Amino acid sequence: MLRDIKADLAIIGDGVAALALAYLAAQRDIRTVMLGKNFHGTTHSATGLIAPRPDYLLADEELVRRTAFECLRWIRLFYPQILSPQRFLIPIGPELPYSVRTFRTLLSRYDEIAKIRSTGLGSHYIINQANLEKMEPNLRKSDIDGAISFGEWTVDPSILLKKLGWETSVYPDLVKKFHISDFREFKIRNGMIEEIRALDAGHKAINISNNRGPLVVVNATGPWMKDVCARLGVVMEYQLKAGVQIEVPGYFFQSGIVTFDSDGKYLVCLQKKGILQVGPTNTDFSGHPDNFIPSDRETEYLTAALRNILGDKRLSPYSFLKHGFRIKPTAIDTNRPVIWNHGNAGLHNLYSLHPGKMALALLAGDEMLDRAISDGWLSKPRVVVTNRLYLDGNRKWFNEAKLLLLKIWALFKMGLFYLKFISKTP
């Protein structure tokens, strides 16, 4: 039996970006259809840290400030059901990519900028070597002179997705979800997608169209965005970074541990009920996301880092936990949301959406809806977001110039703060 569904918005995807967009659209009374096809994106493979990272201050201070505010939105929605505060320690040793003073300056600025998200977390502080050995006896004893302690919010990504799914299910008249086995046809006329024809998981036909205006189609499939666009004859440009995590049986730490590799890249060790989660890696990947196989080099890289901070403690046999992909849409690295409109490829009502970071999914959804409204496809009341955070994926050179200016400005403000900080430090 053919099901003819009328909607204003069709979202292709089933990850955090798609679910957040559907949730926000329902709040604006926008009829929405979600079409999932095992597009789990990167949410399922996230480390679980939802807060902004202090080192992002060196590239984009505005991003950190806004991400901290977005954490507050998530906390208001979902705490204490799935978000939980956790104490993290950064051991002070040769792995630190900056001096202790520089690192404390960075965290002091972070405490100031991201204060809005820190209720119940407090500011960072220094733990001396003697107290650190009592708190974390499994850390190696040699050349670790203490630790920097700070609090962050964590979340189980799979539970987050289930919670968002439940939130959208309370709007049955506005949000309809289908698991798609295949897309049969995208009916296109005059540069517009007028109808989507698909088969659901039971191979029953579904037709989605809009009976009161243009249908807005948003591709929010994460690493599979290229696949969806290719199905429509659209070429997308972005790179993928692969992130692998492993799990090691055993109880090693009381707190979360953040350490660094030789290039200054952070690695997170999260203790979870007798299993230690370690990762992620961050390597270039040029293949198809369905064909990724973790290499021995990546897992050995993680175990080597773990052995380094554990010293002589033996590891139980570890196993591969999960992997995910990070989308890098411009030549200059960014964690901002990115919105592509594919009008330049002849499909004016087709967008692709990447939230940048898991914590920014709600903001990315708001900005996606505002963009569709400003482009004239939706007529619902607009939620005004000041100082737009997202980048226009169609304007590559503009993005690069904007991110470069943001980095220069962030470094300048950090320099001023550093001078002020050291003048007050005894």
What is the CATH number for 369? Answer: 3.50.50.60
One domain for residues 166 and 103? no
One domain for residues 34 and 141? no
Return the beta strands (E) in 201-274 as ranges.
205-209, 216-219, 239-249, 256-260, 266-272
- Please tell me the total count of domains within the chain: 2
Q: Determine which helix (DSSP H) or strand (DSSP E) holds 184, and give its type and residue range.
A: strand 175-189
Closest CA to 259 of 242, 273, 276: 276
pTM for the complete prediction?
A: 0.93
Angle between helices 100-113 and 61-78 (to 10 degrees): 60
In a domain, 181, yes or no: yes
Q: Given this model, what pLDDT does residue 25 score?
A: 95
Q: Given this model, what pLDDT does residue 43 score?
A: 64
Q: Given this model, what pLDDT does residue 232 score?
A: 93
Q: Given this model, what pLDDT does residue 47 score?
A: 72
d(CA 270, CA 288): 29
One domain for residues 144 and 233? no
One domain for residues 56 and 140? yes
User: How far is residue 407 from each of residues 11, 61, 248, 358, 400, measured CA to CA in Å?
Assistant: 33, 8, 38, 22, 11
One domain for residues 225 and 356? yes
One domain for residues 339 and 231? yes
CB contact at 8 A, 12 and 155: no
pLDDT, one tens digit for every residue, the chain (426 residues):
668 999 999 999 989 999 999 999 999 999 999 998 866 556 656 777 788 788 889 999 999 999 999 988 888 887 677 788 889 999 999 998 888 888 889 999 999 988 877 666 888 999 999 999 999 999 998 899 999 999 888 888 888 888 899 999 999 999 999 999 989 999 999 999 999 999 988 889 999 999 988 999 999 999 999 999 999 999 988 888 888 888 888 899 999 999 988 778 889 998 888 888 898 888 888 888 888 888 888 888 898 889 889 876 677 777 777 788 888 877 677 899 999 999 999 999 999 999 998 899 999 999 999 999 999 998 866 655 567 899 999 888 899 999 999 999 999 999 999 888 887 766
Q: Given this model, what pLDDT does residue 156 score?
A: 83
Alpha-helical (H) ranges within 145-233 are 157-169, 225-231
Q: Given this model, what pLDDT does residue 396 score?
A: 86
One domain for residues 225 and 347? yes
Q: Which residue segment(s) compose the domain that 224 sits in?
A: 3-43+159-238+334-394
In a domain, 123, yes or no: yes
d(CA 309, CA 311): 6
d(CA 206, CA 244): 37
Q: Given this model, what pLDDT does residue 426 score?
A: 61
One domain for residues 30 and 175? yes
In a domain, 285, yes or no: no
One domain for residues 218 and 357? yes
In a domain, 345, yes or no: yes
Q: Given this model, what pLDDT does residue 243 score?
A: 87
d(CA 49, CA 57): 17
Amino acid at site 202: G
CB contact at 8 A, 223 and 230: no
In a domain, 124, yes or no: yes
One domain for residues 69 and 142? yes
One domain for residues 219 and 354? yes
In a domain, 22, yes or no: yes
Q: Determine which helix (DSSP H) or strand (DSSP E) holds 415, and give its type and residue range.
A: helix 396-424
One domain for residues 233 and 357? yes
In a domain, 298, yes or no: no
Q: Number of H helices and number of E strands within the chain?
A: 9, 19
In a domain, 308, yes or no: no
